Chain A
């Protein structure tokens, strides 16, 4: 019983991280020409949120962030294709294969060698996590968002922060 409590206490911070970035990805830092590493836990998000304005673009981001517990981004750019291997992503995919994660999008382009996957974590009918894997021959990006994610709010960020808005055609639904 004592060990069960100790185990639970150790597991609590790990649960807050949601998925764990595997060592295979961390090793890619050495091969990549450019690395973006963003780690924002709940306290950092709260701090960042305080510096976002209540008007315009930043107000939308502030609203989106209010329900989040963490944002973790790893993006690698390589000088040449073939610097990363599909096997590097396997430990990550293994974590996403189990419930409550569900793959909602899987796009494979053999011609361009591009591969994109979107996984959501749903609990009690709400999206409580989002993971994006975007793989290109010379670029690999992994995004993990922990917390309540409103897809509409996320999509609404288009047109802000320098992101081009994706125009919807008339009559087209989300």
Chain B
């Protein structure tokens, strides 16, 4: 590379890297685009989050209600089974005791 070429390259680089002011209205356009994007996705995100959280909570409440209903039904069945069993065993025991006493 001779001196002439080097000077030409140097000039081209300086020209390319010269500080330039942005075109008129550039800042307003950028800010406008950002604002538009912000206003477009935030409400949807909020709605989606509300639906997900609300749905999750609703499902949990419903599941707990179902568990409680099933549990209470199982408890009632258990109490009935124990009542019948104990009553029958007591009756048998009473019969045996009565016989032992010669009644």
Contacts and interface: CB of A to CB of B under 8 A. Distances in A.
Interface string A160-174: 111110100000000
B81 A143 contact: yes
DSSP class of A's interface residues: helix, strand, loop or mixed? mixed
A73 interface: yes
Contacts, number: 101
A127 interface: no
B92 A157 contact: no
Nearest to B79: A161
A134 interface: yes
B68 to A, nearest CB: 8
A48 B78 contact: yes
B86 A154 contact: yes
A52 B99 CA distance: 37
Interface residues of B, number: 28
Interface string A118-129: 100000000000
B71 to A, nearest CB: 4
B77 to A, nearest CB: 5
A109 B95 contact: yes
Interface of A: 36, 38, 40, 44-45, 47-52, 61, 64-65, 71, 73, 75, 105, 107, 109, 114, 116, 118, 132, 134, 141, 143, 145, 154-155, 157-158, 160-164, 166
